[in-house]
Amino acid sequence: MLRLISLPLLCLFCLPLSAQGEDLAAGRPCAFAPVPNYALTAEGGTDSADLTDGRVVERPDQHIWFESHAVGWSYVPLINVRLDLGEVQPISEVVMRFLGGSAQPGLDFPGFVRVLVSDDDATYYLVGEYSKWRQGDDARYGIPVTAGQAWVHPLRFADLRTRGRYVGLAIGGTALTCSDELYVYRGDHDPAAVGFAPEQALDFSVSRPQVAFVKPTLVLTSNIATPQPIVLLDESGKGQAVSLHIQTPAGVEIVAGRVGGTAVPDAAAETTADGAHYSVAAQAPGTTAMPWGKLMMQARLPAGTQTTLRCWLEWGEGKSGVVTIPVTVEEIAPAPRCKRMMMALGWWSMEDTRAWPEGLRAAEIIGLNTLSTFAHWMDKQDQGLWDFADQARQQGFRLLNVDSPWHHMLSRHEGDPTLFCQFADGTTGKHFCPSYRGPAYAEELKRVADECARLRPDCLSADVELWSWTGPVDAEKCTRCQADKLKSGIATWEEWKLAKGYEMWKDLHTAVQEAVQAGGGRPVEMGAYDWRPAKSYQFTWPFDRLYQDKLLGNSQASTYTPLLPYHIELVGDRAREDRAHLPRTEGLPWLTPGDAGAFTAEALRCAMLECFLNGSRGIHFWSSRYWDGEYLLGYNEAVRTVAAIEDIIVDGDLYGEAAVERPARVSGMRRGDDIALLVGHYYGSNPVTVQVTLDVPAASDVVDTESGQTIGELAAGTQTLAVKLEEHRSRVLWVRGR
C-alpha cells in the first residue's frame, strides 16, 4: 500500500501541526535517558533543543537520520524523553514525529510509546499509549505500512484533557529510533480539575536510576527456566551501589542469573504471603546499561496463568518507583530433535549454556540440536567447561564455534604498524593490510586451528569484518600491496583484492581442517557471516569461487530488523535469493533476537519458517543480549513445525508453482511428489482464510506439520486450497504424495 503513496502525500507528514493550538513545547529543552547516540543526528551538539525548535525535516526522501536537527538512538531498546513546560499546564494533545518505513531493514517505528505527565518530576502518570503488542493500535493511530520506503509519522495522542509541568515519553526502540519534533498542545480545560488514579502511576526518570524490562509484558515458562533481560536507565553520572528488589508472585522463582555484577542466587530471598522478595546488591554505573543483567526464571504454574511481577531500586536515601509488569505463563512443548538442520542460538557461549539451570535439558526441549560456543573465549584452564562441551556432544548435540579470525590478531598486536597498509610517505593506514603475511598472520591461523582441534566443532562460523562495506581501499596506496599485485601479474585491483581474500580464507580453511584431523576430529563445515552467493563480501571474499572449491559450506545472509510483517517477508526473500543461486539447500542466515527492536514469539516463529521454507537448513542469531522466554517459545514452535519435513527442506528445490493474492504470501520446497508449503498473512488480524492456487504433481494428502493431522486431500494437477489461519499468522502444510 505504501508503495502507491505519491511524493506530495508523503511530504504532508513534514508539515508543522500549528492548527492544533498553542504548542507549549516550543523552544523548551528536552532531557534524555539514555542520551541520543547516533552520530549523524548528534552533529552540532543540539539534541536537547532539536525536538522543540520548530524545524522538521523537509527532504523528499524522508531520510531524517542524515539531519543534525533530528535526534537518533542506535540499538537502544528503551528511551525516556522528558520535557519541562516550566509550570503546570492543561494539556490536550501530545505529538511526536517518528521515522518509519524501514528504508534500511532496522530503521523503523518504535514498538511502543507511552505518554506520561507529572507536576513535580517525581511521580508520573500514564495518560496515553501506543503499542504494537496491542491488536488494532496501528490502525487506531494511523501508522503507515512498512514497505521499505522511509516515512515520518506524527504519532498523535489526542483528547488527553490532562495536566502537568513535565511531559515524559517512554519509547521502545529499534535499530535506529529517530524523531525530529515533539509538540505539546495547550488544552482549554481547568488543570486543577484533572485527577489521576493510583494505577496510572509509572516509574519514569531521566536523572536517577530506573530498572525496566524491554517489553510491555513477560512470558515465563513452566517446564524450563528461561532468561529475562533487564535494563538500567541512568544518566545520573554517579556510580553507586544499589539494591534491586524483585517481588515475584507465588509459584515464580528466580533460579539463576546476574545483575550489575551480582549472581542472583547469592541474593537475599524472603518468602512472602504472596510470593517471594529478592534483594540483589548490584552496581549502577551512573550511565545506562542495556542490558544490565539477565534473570533466569521459572514459573511453576499452569500454562495460561496471568499474574504480575514488581521491581524497584533503592540506593542511599533514594528509591525509584515500582515497575509492575504483566506476566503470562506458557509451557514449552518438547520439540523433536532435527537430524539434518542446524538449530542453534548463534551468538551464545558454552558458558551461558553451562550456567543455564539444566541447560542441556532446556536446549533439548526447545528444539536446539546444536550448541554455540566461542572457543577463543573458553577458559583454557577450565577443564570442566571443556568437559561440558564433550558431555553435550555425547548427548547428541552438535557444536558450532563462532570466531572472529584476524580481528583477534589485530587486538593482540594493537599498535604494530606492520599489520596495516604501508604508504610511501612512511605512514600507515588504519585497517588491516590484505597482503600482510607476517608472523602475526601465521600465529592467528594457528590460534583458530588449535582451538578448533580442541573443541572439534561440527561448524565454524566466522565474523570477518576487517574493512567497511567499501573494502580495503587503502590497498591501492600501499607499497606492499602494489609490489604484491605487480608480482602476481593480476591486471586489476578488483581481481587482486578477490585473490587475496581467497588466499586468506584458503589458508584458514587448510589450517583448521589439518589441525582437527590430526586431533581425531571430523571435517569442519565453514562459513562466514553475511557471505552470500553471487556477491563478494567487502569486495574481498569471492563467495562463488570459495563455494565451488569446497572451501565454504553455506551462505549466511543477515538482517537486523524488528521483525515487522515487512521484515518477516524480507528475511524469506533473502533466503530464497540465496537458495536460487545454490545447487543445494545451504543457507544458515543470521536473524535478530531483539536487539533491533523487540517483537513477539509469533513474529520470530514466522521469520524462522520463512527462512526454512525458502531454502535454509539452519539459523544463526547475532546476539545473546535479549533472549527471553517468549522468543524461545517462538523458536520451539518453529522447530516443531518443520521437524517432520526437514528432508524436503534439505534435499528439495524451491517450489514456485503456488500463488496467492497479496498481501497473503506463499513459499515452499519440493522433493519429488512431496511439497512443503508455507502460507502466511502477516498484515491485519486473524482469523483469515487464504486461497492458494498450486500445481500438485500427484494425488496427495494435506498434513498440518505442527499438529501432524491430515486436514484434506488434493488430486493431481492445478488445485485451489483454502488455508485458514487462526492462532498463527502462518501455517506449514505438507502436501504428501501418496
pLDDT attached to residue 16:
46
Contacts of 565 (CB under 8 A, 6+ apart): 146, 682, 683
Long-range contacts, stretch 663-668, CB < 8 angstroms, 24+ apart: 664/688, 664/690, 665/569, 665/572, 666/690, 666/692, 666/694, 667/572, 667/576, 667/610, 667/613, 667/614, 668/613
Within the chain, which residues score under 70 in pLDDT? 1-20
Taking the alpha carbons of 547, 552, 554, 555 in that order, is the dihedral positive or negative?
A: negative
* 711 in Cβ contact with 703 (< 8 Å): yes
First vs last Cα of the chain: how many Å apart?
A: 41
pLDDT attached to residue 370:
98
pLDDT attached to residue 104:
93
pLDDT attached to residue 273:
84
Q: Helix or strand or coil: residue 273?
A: coil
pLDDT attached to residue 12:
36
C-alpha torsion angle, residues 285, 288, 294, 300 (rounded to 10): 110
Cite the residue boundaries of each domain of the chain with CATH code 2.60.120.260.
2-195
Q: Which CATH number does 2-195 carry?
A: 2.60.120.260
pLDDT attached to residue 4:
26
Strands 618-621 and 398-403, bridge-based pairing: unpaired
Write b or e for each residue in 93-115: b if 16 or more Cβ atoms lie within 10 A of its Cβ, otherwise e: bbbbbbbbbbbebbbbbbbbbbb
Cite the residue boundaries of each domain of the chain with CATH code 2.60.40.3670.
210-330
Taking the alpha carbons of 204, 207, 208, 209 in that order, is the dihedral positive or negative?
A: positive
* 632 in Cβ contact with 366 (< 8 Å): yes
Q: Which CATH number does 210-330 carry?
A: 2.60.40.3670
pLDDT attached to residue 685:
86
pLDDT attached to residue 7:
26
- d(CA 502, CA 525) in angstroms, rounded, equals 17
- d(CA 73, CA 290) in angstroms, rounded, equals 13
* CA nearest to 309, candidates 221, 213, 227: 213
Contacts of 393 (CB under 8 A, 6+ apart): 399, 456
547 CB neighbour count, 10 Å cutoff: 20
658-737: in CATH 2.60.40.1180:
yes
* 682 in Cβ contact with 377 (< 8 Å): no
- pTM over 0.85? The answer is yes
- d(CA 566, CA 319) in angstroms, rounded, equals 42
Cite the residue boundaries of each domain of the chain with CATH code 2.60.40.1180.
658-737
Tell me the CB-side half-sphere exposure of residue 689, using CA atoms within 13 A. Answer: 4
Cell of 334: 518438547
CA angle 483, 486, 490 (to 5 degrees): 135
